[in-house]
């Protein structure tokens, strides 16, 4: 799906309200992605994000010149999962698996992507093996906007998993997802916006 042609959907997906969890249907979208393991805030996570942004720079620039003032910058998104989901809840980060990703414009093809990756490799040297372009559909998800420091997230997730999902007869289905709308090196902790998203399925 080309989100740039559907502003209402773009807003629904990336700008939910801060008050209540809402359900959305996330269509198939193309991403540049890198997979990793362990605490994402340590070197590997930051390096993955740097590699992604460097790799997609020529594509972003192309998008900027094609779209002019209707260009929207795509944010960094992270999927988190653990083989034993309790490791996610208890914050046992050594066991976390994550995927760093950024949506790319719908006109991006494999040739354009591999050219961009080759340029990034000249700049940064070795890139993670898992760097690739991939499309996928998250489907039905519950999500909310959180504005503020990361330490307030566990209370929100508690509300999601123990109240909102059971009340709506839903269960988690797939990796927990965070979307970071601000550059943390430029925005103060109390002003950082992020979308917290969880794919769901009907309760068995």
**Phi, psi for residue 22 in degrees, rounded to 5:** -130, 160
Q: Does residue 188 interact with other proteins by CB under 8 A?
A: yes
Candidates 22, 27, 44, 53: give the one binding other proteins (CB under 8 A): 53
Q: Shortest CA distance to 196 belongs to which of 45, 22, 5, 11?
A: 22
| Number of DSSP helices (H) and strands (E) in the chain, helices first | 6, 7
The binder of other proteins chosen from 149, 154, 166, 189 (CB under 8 A):
189
Residue 10 binds to other proteins (criterion: CB under 8 A): no
Stretch that binds other proteins, among 22-30, 71-79, 92-100, 107-115 (CB under 8 A): 71-79
β-bridge pairing 170-172 and 132-147: unpaired
Residue with structure tokens 């992605």?
33
Helix or strand or coil: residue 139?
strand
Name residues contacting other proteins, limited to 77-96 (CB under 8 A): none
Q: Write out the residues near other proteins by the rule CB under 8 A.
A: 49-50, 53-54, 57, 64, 71, 73, 76, 119-120, 123-124, 183, 185-189
């Amino acid at each position: 799906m080309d989100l740039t042609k559907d502003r209402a959907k773009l807003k629904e997906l990336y700008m939910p309200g801060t008050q209540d969890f809402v359900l959305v249907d996330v269509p198939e979208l193309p991403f540049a992605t890198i997979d990793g393991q362990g605490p994402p805030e340590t070197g590997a996570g930051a390096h993955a994000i740097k590699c992604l942004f460097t790799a997609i720079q020529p594509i972003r620039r192309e998008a900027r010149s094609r779209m002019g003032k209707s260009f929207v910058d795509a944010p960094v998104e992270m999927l988190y999962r653990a083989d034993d989901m309790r490791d996610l809840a208890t914050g046992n980060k050594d066991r976390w698996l994550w995927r760093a990703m950024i949506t790319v414009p719908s006109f991006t093809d494999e040739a354009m992507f591999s050219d961009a990756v080759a340029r990034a490799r000249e700049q940064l040297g070795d890139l993670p093996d898992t760097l690739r372009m991939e499309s996928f559909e998250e489907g039905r998800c519950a999500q909310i906007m959180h504005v503020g420091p990361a330490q307030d997230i566990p209370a929100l997730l508690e509300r999601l998993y123990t109240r909102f999902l059971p009340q709506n007869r839903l269960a988690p289905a797939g990796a927990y997802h965070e979307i970071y709308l601000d550059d943390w090196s430029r925005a103060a902790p109390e002003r950082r916006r992020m979308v917290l998203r969880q794919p769901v399925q009907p309760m068995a």
